[in-house]
Chain A
Amino acid sequence: MIEFREVTKRFPDGTVAVDALSLDVEAGRITVFVGPSGCGKTTSLRMINRMVEPTAGTILVGGRDVMDGDPAQLRRGIGYVIQQAGLFPHRTVLDNVACVPLLLGWSRKRARARAGELMELVGLVPETAGRYPAQLPGGQQQRVGVARALAADPPVLLMDEPFSAVDPVVRQSLQDELLRLQSELDKTIVFVTHDIDEALKLGDRIAVFRVGGVLAQYDRPGVLLARPADDFVDGFVGRDRGYRGLGFLSADGLPLGELRTMTVGESVPERGWTLVVDADRRPLGWVDGGRNGASATAVRADGLVPGGSLYDTGADSLRGALDAALSSPSGLGVAVDGTGAVVGSVSADDVLTRLAAARADGAAA
């Protein structure tokens, strides 16, 4: 979809921002450019819509050289989201979103109707339509920025550190929102960030750049964590990469063990940990029969040991399964189905066995 062929950008002062970059961006996927400042990730992104022109090499978007033809025409077909949102302060939210359709010559009525649809898509309430950007908090401004970029339904979306100026909680919800949008829209997204965790969360493929505009590694996130190409990538990916790498391994085939359960009001068993569940088999907490020495008394809802994280068998990776086992007071992770009902237990040993099998299969490669 987007191809970089030996692309170099040298600025007039002689600094090389991007050095002979060659990579293919897959259509319909999120590709993340990540690296420290000065690594050329933003320059690479801006060369795609010709906001920066390459010194040498070729960039193809949908098979066409971006240097052929009119740059304004090219940009109208590529969504563009930047760090500070860059919303037009003198226009209402609705007219900000309607901008590109209007540039493309749509009627005002049709452009505004489309803008309204987009606002709904990105989760903006209709009351914000008539407001001005300065009246919105940062997170909402970024939603408007995303809606504006998507308004003319471009196949490609460029996002330059779009969430780095908002606080961590809002950032997380914007990231989740982007993944939800992408699951519906299947855009070709190029996303620039300096935050490796954001890259690992969002990217289908990740290009790690080093200072001087050199591509250090271009791989799927699981591979990046399992097999960093060199010390630079290893250092950049950071701590706990072994543990975080589990997040990219499917928990399919992970065996579930038996789990003793009971309900409130039943007698505490002689010994061992038992999970207390409600009428819908949703976990409430644990009771330890041996330690209390209070066997034969009835279980009370307020006397339970709190449980750890839950392993959702439908959605979670091996990381979720391992965390459930490690955070459980009994050492047995609680596995639940989509409705939250207990379906069994998972042990850390089983996760490690599954990891070894995955490695043997080459699934992590």
Chain B
Amino acid sequence: MGAVAAPKTATAGPRDAPAPKRRRRGLSFEGRLMAPALTVLALLSIFPFLYIVALSFSRVGLLGGISLEWAAFDNWTRLFSDGAVGASWLRSVVYFVATVGLEMFLGVGIALLLHEIVRGRNVLLSALLMPMFMAPVIVGLLGRFLTDSTYGLYAWVLRETGIYTGEILGGTTAAFVAVTLMDVWQWTPLITLIVLAGLASMPKSVIEASSIDGANYWSRLRHIVLPLISGVLIVALLIRSMDAIRYFDIITNTTNGGPADATKTIPIRLYETGFRFFDLGYAAAIGLSMLAVSIILANVFMNQLKRRGLAK
């Protein structure tokens, strides 16, 4: 009865009261619009992610097609008890602090200098940005060439001046410093560019007011400029941090992790485990740990941005 009565009510509805919205079954219009993109995302991202998770709990055979054999927590247990992987993580942390720290320091410094320059700033900026447009693999090859003890220009200069007479990529400390500086050389311009954009967007009135109030350059920098561009700095830090964790190309083209594992950071270890030893289950566990660290780092920076009201 009710089922018969309902249409009557509904028929009378338009005249007496607005009809209740019919709940549509299936995807909403927006959902259907997004469905293709979400499907592609699932195919490209979610499915591989789940597959990697499955790999990390398996022993992976390659011959005759990929086969997975349940290994329970073997790979994960090994990950947390493997001293070599721990050492690679430690190296990655040192490397991360050194590269990102230097890049931030130099990038901000250069941006402040460029901000003061009125004439020829664009030319200078263009020249400065060039390393950033090079493929990291080329930077690695260039670095190897320049530091080679037989024909490398940097090696020659260091040797002739007596600053360093050994093989640059053959000494543990020297090699680490060299690959760090290659990364700094390539990516400092990015920080400069981002910071310069932040400096350009500062309200001029605030700077002028501080000058009128008698603030010198350093106090203006410390109390006005840096707080004003702090959001931009955190964004720059976030971008470079994500890159630094997976820094691979330059090391693989110069030292390939040596000498004495001095430059074997976690991405190099991952690559070696996955594509040299073909221990794909263990490599998946290492890769997932890298993902976890990246997510934690990103969250730390995002929280900073939120605290400053710069992100929702």
- Whether A associates with B in a native complex is no
